[in-house]
Amino acid sequence: MAASSLVILLLTAFMLVIWTIYWKTPFFVKKFNVSLLVMFSAALGYLFLSLTTLTSTSNTVSLVLGCFALIAGIAHLVLGLMKLSQVDSKYRWIHYHNRATVSYSREQQNTFSLKTSDGQTIKGIEISGQDNSRASKAVIVCHGASRSKNTAPVAQTSLILAEQYDVFAFDFRGHMESSGVCYANGDEIDLDLEAVVNYVRNRGYAKIAVFGWSIGGAAALRTAAKGAKIDAIIAGAPAINLGDVSEVTSLNRFRLLGFPVLLMMSFLRNARIAVHSQTVDDITAFIPKLPRIPILLAYNDSDYVLKVNADVFEEFYEQLPEPKDRIRLAGRGHLFDWPQTFFLWKKVLDWLERNL
């Protein structure tokens, strides 16, 4: 076997370790430049080795390895370019702002870490409110699929709410800094929110609201129906059926590709997501068990992520128990889409003033 073939095998073993780290841990989630360096280095290494191997030998094994290195090099190059295209400085369509990852920068912030009942580690951030007269009230903010507490609209919402309330934002399992893999069956992320609700409740807050976006909105409703002590819910574009979520749809569509699709998602979205063999019932099944607490349902005329129109949310709204309110945002979007975001924040603050 040629020396270049042996190096290909060694590089592949190394990259398997790297991809395992991407898949199983949040180690790379805040290391954008390191991720690019690893990916482009692997691409250049594979392409160089493929050229060396294919031009220097006619051995069958070496030729096979050379072709493999060529494919692997192109794949890693494409992934690196895709990752590079997501930097904040790139001119993009306005809804891509939803994907920007940002850091918090306030003196009042504190990080927290807690364990769920099934042993996962959930990472979060606490932001102290400015108005001490409302110190007995807290708001928990839940992100959507493939997003996190550090996604721009989630971070902005948390900071704005923190002008009046203490705010707790966190990463669901398999997202950003929290441990584990997020299996799209609903039950597990409900455990994450339940753990955060209990954590906040044990801090002594008399009133707790949950503001959930997409799968976070669905988790808020399900968790309340399962008995979590939540006093008010804002369900923003809730994923009524998890099968409608674009990430789940994509994973199902490319199921035959299996593991490579999961690795790509962990690399591109800082999220380790997989489809569970058993999916949870859609959230309409939990409506009869919802407590009589104030619920605000917010949605767009057309939701491009869930691929549904407003009539689906309005039918869902009619089934919700009183007291309830709704906000319908004009146009196509998935809740946080400029300039509707400013209107939404104003309505949410007004609603919390009356209901929490």
Q: What is the pLDDT of residues 96-143, one digit of tens each?
A: 777 788 888 766 678 999 999 999 999 999 998 665 555 689 999 999
Q: Which residues lie below 8 Å from residue 81, measured CB to CB, with a gap of 6+? A: none
Is the pLDDT at 90 greater than 60? The verdict is no
Is the pLDDT at 89 greater than 60? The verdict is no
Helical ranges in 148-186 per DSSP H: 152-161
User: Same domain for 201 and 316?
Assistant: yes
Last residue of a domain, one of 87, 105, 122: 87
User: Same domain for 277 and 163?
Assistant: yes
Residue with tokens 């399992």: 173
Number of Cβ atoms within 10 Å of the Cβ of 12: 16
> Which band of pLDDT confidence, cut at 50, 70 and 90, is reported for residue 91?
low
User: Same domain for 13 and 126?
Assistant: no
* Assigned token pair, 21: 């780290």
Residues 29-75 pLDDT 10s: 888 888 889 999 999 999 999 999 888 877 888 889 999 999 999 99
User: Same domain for 217 and 70?
Assistant: no
Residue-number span of the structural domain to which 304 is assigned: 96-355
> Which band of pLDDT confidence, cut at 50, 70 and 90, is reported for residue 287?
very high
Last residue of a domain, one of 45, 60, 87: 87
Is the pLDDT at 269 greater than 90? The verdict is no
State pTM to two decimals: 0.79
User: Same domain for 300 and 176?
Assistant: yes
Q: Prior bond to 339 cis, omega within 30?
A: yes
Residues 149-185 pLDDT 10s: 999 899 999 999 998 999 999 999 999 999 998 887 7
111 closest CA partner among 129, 128, 133, 132: 128
> What pLDDT is attached to residue 145?
87
Residues 233-262 pLDDT 10s: 999 999 887 766 766 666 666 666 667 777
User: Same domain for 220 and 312?
Assistant: yes
Count: domains in the chain: 2
> What pLDDT is attached to residue 104?
85
User: How far lies 110's CA from each of 29, 138, 202, in Å?
Assistant: 19, 15, 16
User: Same domain for 175 and 76?
Assistant: no
User: How far lies 246's CA from each of 10, 105, 143, 153, 259, in Å?
Assistant: 36, 31, 15, 19, 18
Residues 205-234 pLDDT 10s: 999 999 999 999 999 999 999 999 999 999
Is the pLDDT at 317 greater than 90? The verdict is yes
- Classified as helix, coil or strand, 209 is strand
User: Same domain for 134 and 210?
Assistant: yes
* Assigned token pair, 271: 């999220």
- Classified as helix, coil or strand, 79 is helix
288 bridge partner residues? none
User: Same domain for 107 and 78?
Assistant: no
> Which band of pLDDT confidence, cut at 50, 70 and 90, is reported for residue 187?
confident
User: Same domain for 77 and 17?
Assistant: yes
More confident residue, 203 or 271: 203
For 29, list phi and psi in degrees, rounded to 5.
-65, -30
Q: What is the CA radius of gyration of the chain?
A: 23
Residue with tokens 């954008």: 32
> What pLDDT is attached to residue 238?
94
